[in-house]
Each structure stands twice: as structure tokens, then as C-alpha cells.
Amino acid sequence: MSNKQTAIGTTYWSILGNVLLALCKFVAGYFGNSYALIADAIESAGDVFSSFLVLLGLKYSSRPADENHPYGHGKAEALVTFAVVGFLVVSATVIAYESIEHIRTPHKVPETFTLYVLAAIVVIKEVFYRFVSKKSDETNSSSLKADAWHHRSDAITSALAFIGISIAIFMGPGYETADDWAALLASSVIVYNAWLIFRPALGEILDEHLYDDMIVRIRQIAATVKGVIDTEKCHVRKTGMTYFVDLHLTVNGQITVAEGHDIAHRVKDALQLEIPEIADVLIHIEPDDL
């Protein structure tokens, strides 16, 4: 299965999981008098929408290069990640506003059964996070990594809601708003996670130097090719789930142009064989006697 198919299949699972959990949270929060749980449901509903954005981004970014897009459409994935982050911030703002309104308004203590619902959600969401995060690492997908962080964020907010409801239930009168304070804290956690998602996507859009380990590996592989004396400049930029490499090679200055051309092709073939995520390599030949 290709990276594209793996990423898209994983996103479908995220969408299904978020739909079911959002419904469970909302029903439990409504009948259990817990706004923290309803806030959690709002976030899960947002996750459904953001997962659809991720799905669209993955499908578009996987389109092959064409005349107008010679480097492919991979940057669309990072742009979708920005949209997901924006939706996270909006969700956090709504949750914070509603939490403050509930803190100012007297209401009933949440029902005890909501604790069992939350405990189950924390476990399920953490499992989803680990699954999607593993797939994002396998496919080098920044938008899938954002989707994974949605699940981790959900697990954290559910854990905070569990703590808030526990305080409200076991501490008794005067602590009815504890779960609302938990929801307010959860909104700040969501914003923080949004930043963690936004930062690497921004680096990808700006072609920031982020791939030191890959550069070391590229130099090692190039050095094994016959005719390569050394490597000089090496730049790597990520586009979607693939990488584009600019590499300067030092070769014997007395060889012919055809021989230098052959060395460059052998280096490119070796790199793409060892690192399949590399979409293309642009190689510049430097003579060793300059």
C-alpha cells in the first residue's frame, strides 16, 4: 500500500471515530449536566470537519506534477494544516466563551456516570492518537500529524473534564462549576496544541532547514557511489509526503562531461532507491581542482 493510500485510509478511520465519540459525548454531557463533556463533544465535532479537510488535502496534494505545477501539489497539505489549526482556535474560543458563561450561571452538579464515559474516551482517544501518529511518521504527512494531535488534544481535554467533574461530584455544593473551569483550561490546551501543529507546517511552506538527519544520510549514500570524491551543499525541502533535494558533488576535474553526468545519475538512482520518499534530486557537479 502506498503512502497516499495509507494516509487516506487512516483519515477515514479518524472521521468515523470522531463522529461516534462526538455523539456519545454530547448525549452524555446533555443528560449528565456537564458542560465540560459538551465542550469535549464540540471539539470532537470540529475534529470531524478538520479530518475532512485533511482528507481533501491528502487527495489534492497527491496529484502528480503537471505543466503548471512542476513540483507537484504537495504544498496543499501544509495549507490544509493551516485551515485545521484555524478551526482549532475557533473551537477553543467558543469553548472558552461558553465555559465563562456557565461559570457565571448556577447549574446542577454533573451526574456520576459521566466519569465512566470520560474514562473510556481518554483511553480510546489516546489509542487513536498513537495509531494516527504512527501512520503520519510512516507517510511523512504533516496534515496526518495534525490529525493525530487532534486525538491527543481530545484525550487531554477529556482527562481535564474528568478531573473537573470529579471535583464537582465529590466536593459537593459550591464546586458545581469545577467542570466548567476544566473546560476553560481545556480551551487553552487546544490553542497550545494548535501552535504545535502550526509551527512545522509553516516551516514546510517556507522551506525551512529542518532535515539534518536526512542530509547526513544523503551525504553517506552519495559517498558510496563510485566517482564521488565529496559532497558540498545539500538542501532538502518537503512537499506533501515527499522531498526534493539539491546536492553539490565534488568529482575528478579531469573526467569528461559525459562521465560527470553518469555519476550524477547514479547518485540520484542510489538516493531514490535508499530513500523512496525523495521525489527528485537536482545535482550540481563541482571539479576537485578548483
120 and 60 both lie in a single domain: yes
Question: What residues make up the domain containing 168?
Answer: 3-205
Return the CATH number at 176: 1.20.1510.10
188 and 234 both lie in a single domain: no
51 and 183 both lie in a single domain: yes
pLDDT band at 2 (very low <50, low <70, confident <90, very high): low
238 and 156 both lie in a single domain: no
15 and 158 both lie in a single domain: yes
Q: Which contiguous run of DSSP H or E holds residue 25?
A: helix 3-31
What the block records as the C-alpha cell of 46 is 470540529
pLDDT of residue 270: 95
Distance separating alpha carbons of residues 275 and 234, to the nearest angstrom: 15
Last residue of a domain, one of 205, 221, 245: 205
pLDDT of residue 193: 79
pTM of the model: 0.67
Return the CATH number at 234: 3.30.70.1350
CA-based nearest residue to 7, from 60, 47, 55: 55
156 and 31 both lie in a single domain: yes
Summarize the confidence of residues 247-266 as an average pLDDT. 93
pLDDT of residue 203: 81
Last residue of a domain, one of 205, 237, 258: 205
Last residue of a domain, one of 183, 205, 227: 205
* Domains held by the chain: number: 2
pLDDT in tens, 154-172: 787 778 778 887 887 888 7
Q: What phi and psi values does residue 70 have, to the nearest 5 degrees?
A: -65, -20
